[in-house]
Amino acid sequence: MPSRNPSVNVPVERWIGHLDMDAFFAAVEQLDHPEYRGLPVIVGGLGPRGVVSTASYEARPYGVHSSLPTAVARRLCPEGIYVMPRFHRYREISEHVRTILKRFCPTIETISLDEAFFDLSERGPSFEAIHQTAKTIKRDVQAETKLTCSVGLAPNRFLSKLGSEMDKPNGFKVIDPDQIREILDPLPVAQIWGVGKVTAKRLTSLGLLRVRDLRLAPADLLVRELGASGRRLQQLAMGIDETPLSGEVDSKSISRETTYAFDVDDLEEMELEVCRLVQQVAQSLRAENLICRVVRVKVRYPNFKTITRQTQLDTGTDAPEVIESLALDLLRNRVPLNEGGIRLLGVGLGGIVESIARQLPLFPDWL
């Protein structure tokens, strides 16, 4: 049943919410360590090659932000509190937030530990009811987790995410259908979901700097320059995004990787690391009762060039010995290891499906 937003009197087919926990990792650290509150807290890798995962709002005026090398952050904000991420704790709270969302919405889509979409279209015919539900979700999250979040509410995913970004921290933003053009048009193209550095540069070179430029650009030009994604980006520039929420999805790959503090050129050391990484991915695989059909090794050289080599199995496996021997073979025989060493080593598993065999009883009664 389409609901009417009273301010526009246009039927809206869907109302999608986006919830974004404010400076999540840093906020959790401040929650668990009261002595950190009000201070610049920076969560991230602490080694020489670490980067910032999350900076608290107190740290941001120093110029510290996500993905900044930690070494640079320390220079910008020497008095900051630098801590390693504690993913178990973040997962715990993330799980709690999901249960709150599910109390109100059957359909949610988790993007990461600190972000999720929720579909409020079924929450009754009136916009008022939908609006109230979104407010209640935000209030409950704060009451139960003692953390603030920002919420966007809009007719689709793209706009709801934009909404939560526009009013944060601790924000609540509704984007009405009649405001879409006015809000989108002046934004830089990089604000569009799916436009990263490379695409932004290409769009700029075409003279398309703002969302308005993209919206009005000839469709055939965009398709010629960007392929199928050109059409999709133009749709987003018009505020159109029909993508449904995915619901809970099974992961398609599992990987672990290590960036060395210093480049490594010793093959034995690499082999040891491959074995460690294999243990970890295999453990994740078994914990979820899955099997894989693809084993992949990833290497990054000091110049940042990154390669992957993969091999496929005839039948799925979850056996660490099998994965290990394939991964070692890839490292030894398929990865160019010249002089200069490597800075990163990774092991990944693909072609993941549920393990049927492991669901069978160990001693079936027909034996």
Partner DNA sequence: TCTGGGGTCCTAGGACCC
Applying CB under 7 A, which residues contact DNA?
45, 48-51, 53, 66-67, 69, 71-72, 75, 111-115, 161, 192-200, 227-229, 251-259, 284, 294, 303-312, 334, 343-344, 346, 348
**81-83 and 41-44: which strand pairing?**
parallel
Report the alpha-carbon distance of residue 66 to residue 25 in Å, rounded. Answer: 11
Q: Catalytic pick from 29, 115, 273, 324?
A: 115
Least Å from the CB of residue 179 to DNA: 21
Least Å from the CB of residue 356 to DNA: 19
Asked if residues 15 and 154 have their Cβ atoms less than 8 Å apart, the reply is yes
Nearer to DNA, 70 or 133 (CB): 70
Asked if residues 150 and 168 have their Cβ atoms less than 8 Å apart, the reply is yes
Return the structure tokens found at 353. Answer: 């499906």
Asked if residues 340 and 302 have their Cβ atoms less than 8 Å apart, the reply is yes
Least Å from the CB of residue 346 to DNA: 6
Other CB atoms within a 10 A radius of the CB of residue 308 amount to: 13
- In order of 16, 43, 123, 176, 240, the CA distances from 3 in angstroms are 12, 42, 9, 12, 18
Least Å from the CB of residue 45 to DNA: 5
HSE toward the beta carbon, residue 296, CA cutoff 13 A:
19
Asked if residues 148 and 142 have their Cβ atoms less than 8 Å apart, the reply is yes
- Which is nearest to 212 in space by CA: 191, 196, 243? 191
Q: Supply the DSSP string of 135-165, one letter for each residue.
A: HHHHHHHHHHHS--EEEEEESSHHHHHHHHH
Least Å from the CB of residue 267 to DNA: 19
Compute φ and ψ for 226, nearest 5 degrees.
Answer: -125, 0
- Which is nearest to 5 in space by CA: 135, 138, 130? 130
User: Rg of the chain's alpha carbons, rounded to an integer?
Assistant: 24
- In order of 83, 101, 197, 236, the CA distances from 222 in angstroms are 44, 38, 17, 13
Least Å from the CB of residue 222 to DNA: 12
Residue type at 145 in one-letter notation: T
Annotation says 115 is catalytic? yes
Least Å from the CB of residue 26 to DNA: 13
Please name the residues in contact with 167: beta carbons below 8 A apart, sequence gap of 6 or more: 150, 152, 173
The catalytic residue positions are 115
